[in-house]
Structures are given as C-alpha cells and as structure tokens.
Chains A and B, each alone.
Chain A
Amino acid sequence: MTSAVAPPGATGAELRGFREVQRLAYECAEAVAAQLAPGVTERGAARMQRDWLHRRGVRDWFHLPFAWFGDRTAFTGFRVPLQFFPTGRRLEEGMAFILDMAPVHKGFTADIGYSGSLGPNPLQDRLLADLEAHRDLILREVRERRPLREIYEDVDRLMAHQGYANRHRAYPFGVIAHKVDRVAERRWSPRLFGFGTQSLRGLAADAVRGHRAGWSPLWSPHRFSDHPPAPGLWAVEPHLGFRGTGAKFEEILVVTDSADPEQSAFWLDDDVPHVRRWAEEK
C-alpha cells in the first residue's frame, strides 16, 4: 500500500509518519501485554504503556492509555464516561484485557486497541476471530461510499447475527470511529480528562468545518453521520461484547477521494497484530 494515494492534506511521507507511530503503539501494546502478570492493576498497565512510549519520545497524546480487565473489557455496567479510566482491578489467570492508547509522535497521531488475555481464554479468542468479518465489512462498504450511518447499522447487524452486543455504543457519542490528524508539536500540551488539548482542538476544528460541509469527524449511529465517508484518516474501533468478555481492535483507515475503489479507502497498515493472528489461524 506504499504507493497509495494520500488523502488531501497528507502526502505519502505523511502516511509513512502515521504508519510509524501506529507500529510504535502496537509494539508498545505487545511489549506491555507480554509483561502483564497476575496482580497487575489496570492503573499499573496504563502506567506501563505510558512509560514505554515516553521512553521512546512520545510527549503528547490524543488520549492517555486505557486498560480494561475482565468484564470491564465488555464495559459491563458502564454508565458514566469516568468509568473508562483505569481502576485498581487486578488481572487474574485467564482474564481478558484490552489496551487502548493514542500517542502523538513527531506530530503524527495513532490510536490503537489491542485485545488479549492472560493465559488461554477461548471465548475471547472466538470474539477476536469474529472481528475479522467486521474489518472486511467496514473496508468494503467504505469503498462503496455508503453513508457512515448505514455502515454502522450493518456492523450492528453483523454483531447481532454473530450473537454479540455492540460495545462501541458505550463510547462517547456511540462512535465506531473518529478522525485523527496531524498535531502541532508544542513544548507544553495539557490534557483534559485524559485527552490531549491539541488533538481535541483539531477534532473541534474538524467538527466546525464538517458541520458547514455536511459531515462529522465522529462516525456514530446518529443523524449527523448520515453522509458518505469523508476523506482523511479514521481511527476505526469496532468493539464486541459477550457476557462479560469484550474484544476490539482499533487502527487507522485511510479514506481518499480517488475514483479507484482500491485507492479510495485502505487500512493504513496491514501488518498489525490482529491481522497477523488471523493469518496464522488459517
């Protein structure tokens, strides 16, 4: 995909930049996942991600790392957004976990989600395997330029058919994806409720611009997402839940205004852990 057409405002070099930080984030997720042991708390796991990335030069964040263990992977009983933040829940043998982080590195943003378990967890393995169909479905329908809201509904239907609950509905605005962009590097970048202010500013600017042009940087089930995919970089995060176990992936989908369907939308990087995992299973 290196010959890909870049979306407006992003050159091939920029795509490389995004790809690099996404790889860095996934490396971090795999490194931290390998260190998780019984007794580690969610806060501990979030801290490990933060430190790992800090050591590699990450200073700004789209959002700070999250970690969810056990039934919190399926957002069981979540009512207010504060519940997303890491807690003192301790990891146990066989427990599922999700690591979710969005570092900004050299001005490029990544937003990734990594699902795994401590020791074997056949149920989460099944959920993860079933996510593959969603990755294919989303790409196919974005290439068909279907309205985002309809794609959202199709993902919902597929989840229901698989027997799972849609858990990305629990995210703010129920989003399955949101836009990410370049962020200006500042020496000081404060955070608001775990979200980097620079990135929030970018998102807000997109929202204003999109509002005038009839699109939204948030891909939600609501009416404001009733428009064809807007060119740009979308962090897509389908999240399945099933009886107290959850699984998600999150990675960047590049949407361009190319007429060639192949080039009109593609995953930023196909060499990500969940895709490798599906390939191994085959």
Chain B
Amino acid sequence: MTLQGARERWVRTGGVELCVAELGDTAQPTVVLVHGYPDSKEVWSEVAARLAEHFHVVLYDVRGHGRSTAPEPLRGGFTLERLTDDFLAVADAVSPGRPVHLVGHDWGSVQAWEFVTVERTKGRIASFTSMSGPSLDHFGHWIKKRVSRPTPRRIGQLLGQGAKSWYVYLLHTPVLPELAWRGPLGKRWPGILRRLEKVPGGDYPTPSLPTDAAHGAWLYRDNVRPRLRRPRVDAYAHAPVQLVTPLGDAFLSESLYDELELWAPRLTRRTLPAKHWVPRTRPDQLAAWIKEFVVATEGGRPTARAASGPHADRFGGQLVLVTGAGSGIGRATVLAFAEAGARVVAVDRDAQSAARTAELARLVGAPEAWAETVDVSDEQAMEKLAERVAAEYGVVDVLVNNAGIGLAGPFLDTTTEDWRKVLDVNLWGVIHGCRLFGRQMAERGQGGHIVNTASAAAYLPSRSLPAYSTSKAAVLMLSECLRAELAGRGIGVSAICPGFVNTNITSTARFAGVGPEEEDRRRRKSARLYGLRNYPPEKVAEAVLRAVVRNQAVVPVTAEARGGRLMSRFTPRALRAIARLEPPL
C-alpha cells in the first residue's frame, strides 16, 4: 500500500514470520519504526518517507498484525520477551553488527522500552525515541508509589490516568473485543479516528485493521497485569532516550513521565500540542526531531543539542518568524525563541537591525537564524517573503506579527496620510502575515500558532491615541475571529496586549498636529516616561512564549494592561472618564 518504493523481506523467528519493509540507503544509520495498537507498520508511512531521505528506515509488522503471521496459540504468544526476540531478529537481519535507532509509538513504544531496558539488547540499540507509550515497569512503579504514599495530587494523578485507561479494562474481557473489532467497531474506526483524533483520511488505517485489533488485544492480556503487579526493578535504559509527549493525548497523562530521568538518565524531552496519533497528524515535526536526535547520537553527543531556555521541549527545532524583529519586543521575542532552540526568521524593514537580531539569535542558541528585510505594509513584498520562506526554510510553526508604529495626537489633527500609514503597518501588516503564513500552516495541516501584538490601547479608549488604538483594536478582534476559524485545524491564535513597555516605539512615534520641534520634545518626554516605567521587552517575550504554550487567546502583559482589561469589562464608564484626560506630555 502506502510504503512506496519499500523493499520487502520476511524474517522467521519463534514460530512466526514477520513482514519487514526497508526504505532509503542501507549505508546510512538504521532507524527501526515500531507501530502501536491497533495499527500496522503503515501508520509510519508519512514519517518513514521523510526519514528515508537521510536514513536506512526499517518498519515491521508486529506479530499478529498487518502481514506478519500470528503465534499459535495466541495466549502467551505476545509477551514482551517474545516481542524482544522479534526485534532482535529484525535488527540482526537488517543491520547486522551495527546498533539501530529505535522509534516507537503507542504499543510500539511500550515494547521498545522493554527492548531498551533489558540486558540482552545492550549494544544493539543506539537511541530510542518514545511517543505515547510508557514502560509497563515504570508505570507499575508509578502506580505503586502513588498508592503507597498518597497525597491529594498523587491521588488525582492516579484517578486521572485510571479514567484514561478505560479501554485497557475492556480489552481484558474475553471474546467481546474481538467480536466488536471484527464487527461494527472495525467498520466505524476510520471515521472515529477522523472525527475525534483529527487523523487525516486517505489510505490509513489499512484493511487489516479488524484482525490487527483482534490479535493485538493479547498484547494487553499477556503483559499488563503481570508487569503492573511485579514491575522489574532494573528497567534502566542503556541508550539515550528522546521522549515526545503529545499534550492532548486522550489515553496517557503527562504526569506518567515525571521522574523519568531516574530510569533514563540521558533523556531529551519534547512536547507537542497534538492528540494521540502523532505519526499521522504531525509527521514533519516528528521526522525533524528523530533526525536531529539520531544525528546527535551518531555524532557522539548523549542528548540532542541542549537549548537551555524555558520551553525548549516545545520549540526546539521549530521554525519561528517574527516581524518588527529589529528592536524592542520583536527582537526580545526572537531571542527568547532562540534560547528555546527554535530556528528563527527575523523580519524588519531595517536590514541592519534585522541582521543584528539574527546574529544575536545564533549566539544565544538558535540552530539557524535568518534576517529578512521587508516592510510588512507592502503586500507584494510580503507575498514574496512568504514564498521565499516556504521554499528555503519550510512552513512556519509559529508566526509573530509584531511590527507596529506609534501615532499620537487628536483625531481632528490626524491627517488621512497619518491614518493610512498607521493602518498600513499596524493592521495590514498583521493581515498580510496571517493571510500568507496562516494559509501555509492550514494547507500543511499539522497545526501551528499565530501571535499578534495588539496593545492595551486596543481596549483602553483615550483622546490622545485615536488612530493607534483603532488599529490595535482591529488587530485584537482579527485575532479573536481568526482563532475561531483556525481552531478546527489545530492552529492557535493569540493576541498580546502589552502596556507601557520600554522600547524605541516612543522615539519613532508620530505626534499629529504639532511642529517638528514640539514633536521631538514629546518624543523625548514620552521616552523618558516609558523609561521611568521601565517594563522590559524581555518580559513581554516571555509572555509570548507562554501564550503559545498555553494557547491563550488574549494576554494583557503589564500591570496597567491587566488592570485596564478588568476595568474595560467591569467599569467601562470609569475608563471613559479617564479617556478624557490630557496625557502629561
């Protein structure tokens, strides 16, 4: 089916025949992908195709699944010991004498934890990337610890995971699961996956699904009870481990992996805002992380390039584009993402400062950083930028529409030219960014996030900032609408509303209705006031990263922005009275 160009072979072991598929150059490091339940090796088709460009990729159908034969009898044929025999047989066949890089999803990961923690596979595994499948032994200890020393939090964790494991109990009933899978459930499963798990349709799952699922029930029956009752005490990983945790997993909670460092000392953590079937829904990101990890371990580094900043687990290797990145909040945001290990594109209309930002980004930890000189209000230039970024760097994972200019002065003194300028940059710049990069994200269909820099002025009326506030209010509403539209595609949209932040927006702002000398005086005065307030742009950047991680809708950042937001909801009349005051300039 979907594994195009795969070379097939059969490996005979322990009374079964395993169907093994190989892709890519056999001279490259070997990556073995192990599928979960109820799946066959085809669950990896998207990831395998991406990895095959760099590695020798091997997939096999677990015994009883896909085209591999099932053991006779089924009971006792699916123990982790047998599955380890299978893995070793495959590894010896495809990569004799050289350790393989192991990747497991769901039950593939559960098995692989066994492979990577038992003595007899030592030297056969170079690295292990785990997603959505804990070691049953670690899980057993996890439960024991929580039962024997309960605290409210631990009880909560136990109950939470207990509820998420509902299907495990069902699978332990005799015969019924088999009947359901071979009957109505097997027929409806593709639709359920599409609706609840947002797995794109197409040629997955394969027609072998009912038999896979029926046989696979024995994975649970043969292993779960014995292992949870008597977990091994020596289940330490003997290879570096990369743990990918989908945050929206309906079957496994994040807390399962607390203290995993005890079992896997060389651990790299990654998190992903996605549901359980990440090999189908996020193949680009997985392939990138697997590639980075394999290359790092082959190069002798025990963990992937360790970005030190906060949220490195989330943004490591992601592509982030920030407009207005030459100074202020934009530059601070680029640097914060860079510290988290993201690849960054710094866009500014001033080439020099954009280049400077990119250079600093590389110094603080960005694996790659580029500078692009574009005026965000220029539609054609933005279109060209979007094309260039997609062609050269890839689809943007996080877009920050931050470029903006200031304009103060009474409405009656504001010329149409002033209006046009401020709307062109503050509103149209955001529209172009969302339109072009948002479309790329939506078409890729693997999620993403858009952050728009609005302002506290978006909800605080004032007689001195009519044009600026109007443009920012539009940005805020645009963000809210877009958030509703893109939610179904896994793309989050956040609006950041900083208050008075100490950046150079004051010294470049236009003051309508006054002469150049007076304008200069006001610029200096406002710069001084902002300097006295002294709220650093770095803190706004932290709020941006947090907003993406938590997928927050509207984020007021400073105390005045938060207070103003509360007042705009509960005491709008007071705000209107304040809006009439002349600013102290």
Chain A residues with CB under 8 A of B363: 122-123, 126
Instruction: A122 to B504: give the CA distance in the assembly, Å.
Output: 28
Instruction: A242 to B363: give the CA distance in the assembly, Å.
Output: 11
CB of A163 within 8 Å of the partner chain:
yes
Q: Are A242 and B504 in contact (CB under 8 A)?
A: no
Instruction: A242 to B538: give the CA distance in the assembly, Å.
Output: 11
Instruction: A160 to B507: give the CA distance in the assembly, Å.
Output: 13
Q: Which of A112-128 contact B (CB under 8 A)?
A: 122-123, 126
Option from B357, B359, B364, B504 in Cβ contact (under 8 Å) with A243: B364
Chain A residues with CB under 8 A of B360: 126, 163, 242
Chain A residues with CB under 8 A of B335: 243
CB of A258 within 8 Å of the partner chain:
no
Instruction: A222 to B399: give the CA distance in the assembly, Å.
Output: 41
CB of B339 within 8 Å of the partner chain:
yes
Chain B residues with CB under 8 A of A126: 359-360, 363
CB of B356 within 8 Å of the partner chain:
yes
Instruction: A61 to B339: give the CA distance in the assembly, Å.
Output: 41
Instruction: A126 to B363: give the CA distance in the assembly, Å.
Output: 8
CB of B331 within 8 Å of the partner chain:
yes
Q: Are B364 and A123 in contact (CB under 8 A)?
A: yes
Q: Which residue of B lies closest to A122 (CB)?
A: B363
Q: Kindly provide the distance from the CB of B214 to the nearest chain A CB, expressed in whole angstroms.
A: 56
Q: Which of A100-158 contact B (CB under 8 A)?
A: 122-123, 126
Chain B residues with CB under 8 A of A160: 504
Q: Which of B405-441 contact A (CB under 8 A)?
A: none
Q: Which residue of B lies closest to A242 (CB)?
A: B360
Q: Which of B90-129 contact A (CB under 8 A)?
A: none
Chain A residues with CB under 8 A of B331: 163
Chain B, interface size category, equals: 10 to 19
Instruction: A153 to B317: give the CA distance in the assembly, Å.
Output: 39
Instruction: A211 to B335: give the CA distance in the assembly, Å.
Output: 44
Option from B339, B356, B364, B504 in Cβ contact (under 8 Å) with A162: B356
Chain B residues with CB under 8 A of A242: 360
Chain A residues with CB under 8 A of B356: 162-163
Q: Kindly provide the distance from the CB of B325 to the nearest chain A CB, expressed in whole angstroms.
A: 11
Chain A, interface size category, equals: under 10
Q: Kindly provide the distance from the CB of A222 to the nearest chain B CB, expressed in whole angstroms.
A: 14
Q: Kindly provide the distance from the CB of A244 to the nearest chain B CB, expressed in whole angstroms.
A: 9
Q: Kindly provide the distance from the CB of A130 to the nearest chain B CB, expressed in whole angstroms.
A: 10
Q: Kindly provide the distance from the CB of A96 to the nearest chain B CB, expressed in whole angstroms.
A: 12
Chain B residues with CB under 8 A of A161: 353
Could you say which of A122, A126, A162, A163 has the most chain B C-beta atoms within 10 Å of its C-beta? Answer: A163
Chain A residues with CB under 8 A of B339: 243
Instruction: A162 to B360: give the CA distance in the assembly, Å.
Output: 9
Q: Which of A151-182 contact B (CB under 8 A)?
A: 160-163
Q: Which of B512-526 contact A (CB under 8 A)?
A: none
Instruction: A122 to B538: give the CA distance in the assembly, Å.
Output: 21
Q: Which of B530-566 contact A (CB under 8 A)?
A: 538
Q: Kindly provide the distance from the CB of A137 to the nearest chain B CB, expressed in whole angstroms.
A: 17
Chain A residues with CB under 8 A of B353: 161
Q: Which residue of A lies closest to B353 (CB)?
A: A161
Interface string of A215-245 (1 = CB under 8 A from B): 0000000000000000000000000001100
Q: Kindly provide the distance from the CB of B525 to the nearest chain A CB, expressed in whole angstroms.
A: 15
Instruction: A148 to B34: give the CA distance in the assembly, Å.
Output: 69
Q: Which of B232-256 contact A (CB under 8 A)?
A: none
Q: Are B357 and A163 in contact (CB under 8 A)?
A: yes
Q: Which of B327-380 contact A (CB under 8 A)?
A: 331, 335, 339, 353, 356-357, 359-360, 363-364
Q: Which residue of A lies closest to B362 (CB)?
A: A122
Chain B residues with CB under 8 A of A123: 363-364
Q: Which residue of B lies closest to A162 (CB)?
A: B356
Could you say which of B335, B363, B538 has the most chain A C-beta atoms within 10 Å of its C-beta? Answer: B363
Q: Kindly provide the distance from the CB of B330 to the nearest chain A CB, expressed in whole angstroms.
A: 11
Interface string of B482-510 (1 = CB under 8 A from A): 00000000000000000000001000000
A-B contact pairs, 18 of them (CB 8 A): A122-B363, A123-B363, A123-B364, A126-B359, A126-B360, A126-B363, A160-B504, A161-B353, A162-B356, A163-B331, A163-B356, A163-B357, A163-B360, A242-B360, A243-B335, A243-B339, A243-B364, A243-B538
Q: A: which residues have CB within 8 A of B?
A: 122-123, 126, 160-163, 242-243
Q: 6 closest A-B pairs (Cβ-Cβ)?
A: A123-B363, A163-B360, A126-B363, A163-B356, A122-B363, A243-B364
Given contact pairs A162-B356, A163-B357, A243-B339, a sample of 9 additional A-B residue pairs in the complex whose CB atoms are under 8 Å apart: A122-B363, A123-B364, A126-B359, A161-B353, A163-B331, A163-B360, A243-B335, A243-B364, A243-B538
